[in-house]
Structures are given as C-alpha cells and as structure tokens.
C-alpha cells in the first residue's frame, strides 16, 4: 500500500495491488486540473465536479464511467434536508471519489479506514474497482436508513399528541416534516434509475456480478423510497386529521356561542323594547315594580322555551 497526498491540489490516494482510490473533498479548479493531467477524463465531466447544480446521472465511456449521486444530509441552519453530491469516476483499476461538500461522514470514515488498516484495504480493495464502488455506495446507502427512522419517530410522536390536543406547535411540526419529506424524496428518487443502470448493464472492467451487488444497492434504494412514500401518506393523513379536528373544535365553539346567543336573543329583544325612552304600557312611569317582575318572568319563560326547543332538536 502506498499513500500519497498532493499538497497543492488536496488529493489523497490509496494504492493497493492494482487498485487505486483517489479521494477528493470540496474540489476546486486545482483538483480538476490534477485529474485532467493524470486521467483521460472528458473535460465536461471535470466541469461537472465543480458545479453544484448537477442532477444524478451516469455517463458511459469506453474505459470508464462517471456517476453523479446525491445523498441526504440534514442542514441544522435551515432545518431541512439537503442533497450532498458525490461524483465518482470508475475504471478498470481505479476509483476516483469526489466528495463535493465534505459533509458525508460515512464516505470520509470509510476512506480513513482503508487508509489506516491493512486488513480493510485487503478486504475492500483486493478484488476489483467495481467491488470497491459497491462498498462505497453501500456505506452511503445504509447512512440513509437512520434518516428514515428519525422521520418515522417524529411522525409517531405527532400521532401520540394529535388526538389529545391540536396546538399550533403540532401543526408547525407537521408542516416541517412535510417539507423535509418533499426534499428527501427529491433526493432519493433520481438515484434509483442510476443504480438500476449499474445493475442492468454490463461493464467488463467491473469484474464482479453486477446484478447481485448493485441489485442489492438498488433494492435498498427502493426500500428507502417505499419507506418515505409511506411516511408521506401518513403525514398527509395526519395533516387532514389535524385540519378536521381543528375545524371540529371551531364548529363546537360556534355551536356553543350560537346556543348562548339563542338563549338571550328573545329576552334581549323584549328588554330592548321596554328600555326605549318612550311611554309604554307597564312602563316605569307608573312607579311600580310589578311590570319589571312580569317582564323578568316573560324573559325567563322565553329562555326556557328556547332551551327546551334546542334540547328537542338535539342541539344541546
């Protein structure tokens, strides 16, 4: 094994047998120039590793493949999951991994493991470049499952509280999860076609059973996609339930207010009529409290009749 670090271009290499793993983080034009000098890569591919707007894809050439892949990483500042790009060049005796943002810990940890441990180098780099690529993708794919578990736990926590109390905080949490799921699904879905291409097509320089190895990766991506699709359906159902519960509580409040207004409407009408500054039969100009008692009895009777009518209509 030989380890070489290009100080100027920030390129690290591990050589084991016939296989070379070139590792680059946060590439700049210097790293692109280094790859252009040491490998026969297409200039457009070198431009792609400097771009941050690439879609997942696989470009096929006579002696190498160029892959652009995205993996989800949660951004604590914006509170949403964002794609982290990994570009891979793979030929018969080399793998070049370009870690564009430098925030995918499994990829960095895997390279450091192969860099420091002879047994790991023999295990992962002792067979072929395709076998090394499989393990790189497998590490990155397995990294996505804890994200799915975390989303599932958040949904279950909302399920436990949504039926006991619907608060603005619950609605806000549902909105955050829905936004996060939209972002994650945008990242995961395009990857499936890329991995299925690796599974389906035959590349002689892989020297591995692609259908078995990359079929396993494709199966993991499909499981991830199905899991996030299930989460989306559950969150949509919780959002509908939350909206229905909120609407139901508003209706209950309006029903109570309507009942109260119905009970006091007729007494208010009568008291309003006799409160006018005009002479009316039984008014205060006679100096007797009898009219007041009679009016109070009439208003109480009207309220009682209204109450019984509401009970009869099952509105109480």
pLDDT digits (tens, 9 = 90+) for 91-113: 889 999 998 887 888 999 999 99
Query: In sequence order, what E strands does the chain have?
Result: 2-6, 11-16, 19-25, 57-60, 64-75, 80-91, 94-99
Residue 83: exposure state from Cβ atoms within 10 A (0-12, 13-18, ≥19): buried
Q: Report pLDDT for 162.
A: 74
Q: Is 212 domain-assigned?
A: no
Bridge partner list, 215 = none
Decide: 217 and 141 in contact? Cβ < 8 Å.
yes
The mean pLDDT of 241-251, rounded to a whole number, is: 73
Per-residue DSSP letter, 126: S
Which stretch, 184-188, 206-210, 240-244, 247-251, has highest mean pLDDT? Answer: 184-188
268-277: string of b/e by CB count within 10 Å (b at 16+)? eeeeeeeeee
* Rounded-to-integer distance, Cα 186 and Cα 216, Å: 21
3-state secondary structure of 215: helix
Provide mean pLDDT across the span 33-58.
87
Give mean pLDDT, residues 143-171: 80
Task: Give the three-state DSSP class for 87.
Answer: strand
Are 189 and 228 contacting, i.e. CB atoms less than 8 angstroms apart? no
Domain assignment present for residue 163? The answer is no
Q: How many domains does the chain have?
A: 2
pLDDT at 6 over 50: no
Which residues lie closer than 8 Å to 73 by C-beta, 6 or more apart?
81, 82, 83, 84, 101, 103, 104
106 within some domain: yes
Q: Look at residue 2 in the predicted model and tell me its pLDDT.
A: 44
Would 276 be classed as within a structural domain?
A: yes
**Most confident by average pLDDT, 131-140, 155-164, 208-217, 290-299:** 131-140
Tokens of 244: 């229905």
The average confidence (pLDDT) of the chain is 81
Does position 122 have pLDDT exceeding 60, yes or no? yes
CATH classification of the domain holding 1: 3.30.460.20
Residue 20 lies in a domain: yes
Residue 38 has pLDDT above 60, yes or no: yes
In a domain, 218, yes or no: no
The whole-number average pLDDT for the span 260-271 is 72
Last residue of a domain, one of 62, 91, 126: 126
- The domain boundary, picked from 126, 156, 174, lies at 126
Helix axes 105-116, 118-125, angle to 10 degrees: 110
Q: Residue 88 above 90 pLDDT?
A: yes
Residue 134, pLDDT > 80, answer yes
Q: Whole-angstrom Cα distance, residue 182 to residue 204?
A: 38
Quick one: pLDDT at residue 97?
92
Domain encompassing residue 299: 253-312
pLDDT at residue 5 in the model: 46
Residue 234 located in a structural domain = no
Q: Is residue 247 part of a domain?
A: no
Question: Shortest CA distance to 98 belongs to which of 27, 149, 199, 172?
Answer: 27
Q: Specify which of 66-75, 197-206, 263-272, 303-312 reaches the highest per-range mean pLDDT.
A: 66-75
Check residues 308 and 183 and name the one with the higher pLDDT.
183
On the question of pLDDT at 246 being above 80, the answer is no
Tokens matching residue 11: 């390129």
Q: Which of 126, 159, 191 is the endpoint of a domain?
A: 126
Q: With beta carbons less than 8 A apart as the criterion, state whether 73 and 104 touch.
A: yes
- Cβ contacts of 174 within 8 Å, gap of 6 or more: 158, 235, 238, 239, 242
Query: Which pTM does this prediction carry?
Result: 0.74
């Amino acid at each position: 094994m030989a380890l070489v670090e290009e100080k100027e271009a920030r390129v690290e290499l591990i050589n084991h047998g016939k296989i070379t793993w070139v590792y680059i983080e946060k590439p700049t034009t210097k790293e692109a120039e280094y790859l252009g000098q040491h490998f026969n890569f297409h200039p457009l591919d070198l431009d792609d590793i400097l771009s941050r707007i690439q879609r997942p894809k696989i470009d096929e050439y006579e002696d190498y493949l160029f892959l652009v892949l995205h993996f989800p990483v949660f951004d604590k500042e914006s509170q949403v999951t964002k794609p982290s790009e990994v570009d891979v060049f793979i030929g018969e005796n080399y793998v070049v991994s370009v870690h564009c943002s430098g925030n995918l810990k499994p990829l960095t940890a895997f390279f450091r493991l192969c860099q420091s441990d002879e047994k790991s180098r023999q295990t992962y780099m002792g067979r072929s470049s395709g076998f090394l690529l499989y393990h790189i993708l497998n590490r990155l794919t397995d990294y996505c499952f804890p994200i799915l578990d975390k989303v599932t736990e958040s949904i279950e926590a909302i399920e436990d509280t949504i039926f006991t109390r619907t608060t603005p905080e619950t609605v806000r949490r549902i909105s955050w999860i829905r936004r996060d799921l939209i972002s994650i699904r945008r990242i995961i879905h395009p990857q499936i076609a890329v991995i299925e291409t690796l599974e389906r097509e035959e590349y002689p320089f892989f020297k591995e059973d692609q259908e078995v190895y990359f079929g396993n990766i494709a199966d993991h991506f499909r499981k991830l996609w199905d899991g996030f699709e299930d989460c989306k359906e559950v969150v949509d159902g919780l959002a509908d339930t939350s909206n229905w519960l909120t609407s139901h509580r508003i209706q209950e409040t309006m029903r109570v207010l309507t009942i109260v207004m119905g009970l006091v409407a007729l007494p208010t009408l009568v008291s309003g009529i006799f409160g006018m500054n005009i002479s009316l039969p039984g008014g205060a100009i006679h100096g007797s409290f009898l009219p007041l008692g009679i009016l109070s009895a009439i208003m109480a009777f009207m309220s009682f009749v209204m109450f019984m009518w509401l009970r009869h209509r099952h509105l109480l």
